[in-house]
Every structure is written in C-alpha cells, then in structure tokens.
Chain A
Amino acid sequence: MRYLLFGIAIVLGLAGGLYYGWVVNPVLVVDTAPDILRSDFQADYVLMVAEVYQSEQNAERALERLNFLAGGNPLESMNAALDFAATSAYSKSDIALLNDLDSALRKWDPSLEFTPTP
C-alpha cells in the first residue's frame, strides 16, 4: 500500500512539475533564430527585401537576404509572404513589389522553379 501511495505521489508531482514547466513558467525565449518568427513578421521581412531589391536590382543579394529566414529555401519564404500578403491587408503597391521580386528570383535561377499555390 505504501509503495502504491508513493507511486501516486510521484505521478502527481511529475504532473505538477510538467504543468508548471511547460505552461505556467516555460523556459524564457531569448536569442531566437529568424525561422521561428511569426508569419506576419516573416512576410514583412520579405517585403523589406523586395523594397531593397527595387533599388538594387540584385537578385542574388535578395536571395542571400531571404536565406536569413528559411536557411536554404528562400522561395519557400517568398511563397509564404505572397500568400500572406494576398490574404492580409497588404496594399497593391506592396504586393506588386513582392511579385517583382518573385519573378526576378525565378528568372535568376531556373532550378528554383516552384509550383504556385492556388
């Protein structure tokens, strides 16, 4: 009986510890990487890259900057930003900037061709 009670006490303590450590007081988030930025921040980052691309006209540099987000798959970020812009309140001029960058990236390296989502 004592062992059973001891086991129940451990299980209860374990549950309490997990709840406290995961829900009430989870590990403080600092020094994070860009790939876990919220989608609106990621989309705005891509928009910044598109704004800079408008004046630089350097697709290679734009790709390098997009690597900041996806770590090797910049068109994934580009695609996500286009989707986000289409479903959010992005202005027509901002969407045009994103489309310009998207076209430039695909022209720059055909191996990065992808199937657009409907």
Chain B
Amino acid sequence: MKQNKESRSPLFLLTGLLLGLLLGLAIAWILFPARTVDTSPAELRSDYKEDYRALTALAFASSGDLGRAQSRIVLLGDRDPVRELNAQAQFALLNQDNQREARALGQLAQAMQSLPPSSVPDSVEQPSLLPEAIYQITEEQMLCGDQNGPPLLKIFLLDAEGLQQSGISLSLLTDSGEEETFTGLRPEFGAGYAQFELNQGETYTLSVGEEPVLEGVKAAICEGDGGVHSWGSWLFTLQGT
C-alpha cells in the first residue's frame, strides 16, 4: 500500500504542474494578455488602414512626392498595393462626399503603376541575394520617374515578423571604400528605412551589420520614352529569416 502511494507521487506532481500551466496560459492569453504598444500601420484594423491609405493618397495629391507616398503605402503591408488603391478608389466614387479622395487614390494607383519593373531595360544588371544571407528579399523594384537627384539604393529592413527594424547598421562596400548608415535616420519613411547614394560605374555589396546580404548593386538606369535614359533607384525590402 505504501509502495502504491509512492508510485503515484510523480503523477500527482505532474497534475499540479499541468493545472498551474493551464491557469498561467488562461491568465496570459485571456484574462490579462500582454499590452501591445508601438504597432505598425500593417497591424491596423482594416477600416483604419483605409483611412491611412486615403490620407496617403491625399498627401501625394498635395505634395506630388511619389517616393514618399510609396514608402507609406508599403507600410500597410498590402500584397498588391495598386489593387488595394484602385479598389478603395472605386468604393469612394460611390459616395458623393468622397470624390476628391477617390481621385487622389486613383492618381496614386496610376502613379505607382507607372513605375513597374517592366520599364527596366533588359540590359540592367539586378543585384542578387548572397546565398548565405540571413535576410530574404520580399520586395524588389527599380523606381523610375521620380528621380531628380542621384541614383539611390533604398532599403526597408524588417525582422522575421515583418516589423521594421530601426537602428540597424547598414554598410555599402565598394573597391573605393565603405559607407555606413543606420535604419531609421529618415523617420518620415519608416523606422526600418535607410538609403545610400550610388556612384556611376561602381559595384557595391550591401551588408546588414557584419553580414553581407546583397551583391552586384549598381546605379540603376531607367529607359524612358524615345530611349532617353535617366537615373533610377533600387528599392529592396529585406526580411529576416
């Protein structure tokens, strides 16, 4: 009889452990879930996302800054941002009070559509991800048409959960030297944003921290109507694996 009691002891402890575990999970997930702060626009409820998208379009209509509008739209995490803009524009058209908003949404969709990778000449060499990279490319675009300045490399850095990473060191290495910057120095574009100016004729390797990620980065050249060339920018969204 005494032996029976002793042999039940571990089961008795396991029952207590399980009870405690269930109670802890109930408290942590149901009664007092961890308070969430510092979210990104991608986590907004869908109606708030619509407000954010509409305001982005109206701001674009006001400023004409397509690069900035595009950076803001990217923050919403839409799979097909142009489609979302067009769909919201169509919906806004139904309401007489939202005509200006509908036009702005439509204009932004059109402007973003006018910067397709298809305008990239076939001869343009695209940067490639290094096989050992700890990041993956989730978006890659060559931006044409909004360039009055030098060619740029624009980076959005996301963690494995898709949240922008700020304060991360990025360096661009070339034969003639190394440039370093940090994500988040242009907060108007997002905490995970950073950019570099590229020099014509140089080939760069981008590193995140000490880890080389992209190689073969060169100044992008866009081909416009009539074969006119102009500088473009590379836009990469890199997400941690």
Contacts and interface: CB of A to CB of B under 8 A. Distances in A.
A96 interface: no
Contact of A48 (B36, B56, B187, B191): B56
A89 B187 contact: yes
A34 B55 contact: no
A34 B187 CA distance: 17
Interface in A1-30: 2, 5-22, 26-27, 29-30
Interface size class of A (residues with CB under 8 A): 35 or more
B81 to A, nearest CB: 16
Interface string B13-39: 111111111111111110001101111
Interface stretch (B58-66, B88-96, B212-220): B58-66
Contact of B48 (A17, A29, A55, A68): A68
Contacts of A39: 38
Given A26-B34, A40-B187, A32 B24 contact: no
Nearest to B193: A40
Contacts of B150: none
Contacts of B52: 34, 45
Contacts of A14: 20-21, 23-24, 27
A70 to B, nearest CB: 13
Nearest to B186: A89
Dominant SS among interface residues on chain B: helix
B25 A17 contact: yes
Contact of A27 (B26, B29, B37, B62): B29
Given A26-B33, A29-B36, A29-B43, A40 B20 contact: no
B173 interface: no
Contacts of B187: 40, 43-44, 84, 88-90
Interface residues of B, number: 51
A86 B133 CA distance: 36
B40 interface: yes
A38 B166 CA distance: 12
A40 B191 contact: yes
B134 to A, nearest CB: 22
Interface in A33-59: 33-34, 36-41, 43-45, 47-49, 51-52, 54-56
A5 B12 contact: yes
Given A9-B16, A17-B22, A37-B41, 9 more contacts: A9-B19, A11-B20, A16-B17, A17-B27, A33-B45, A37-B39, A41-B75, A52-B55, A52-B58
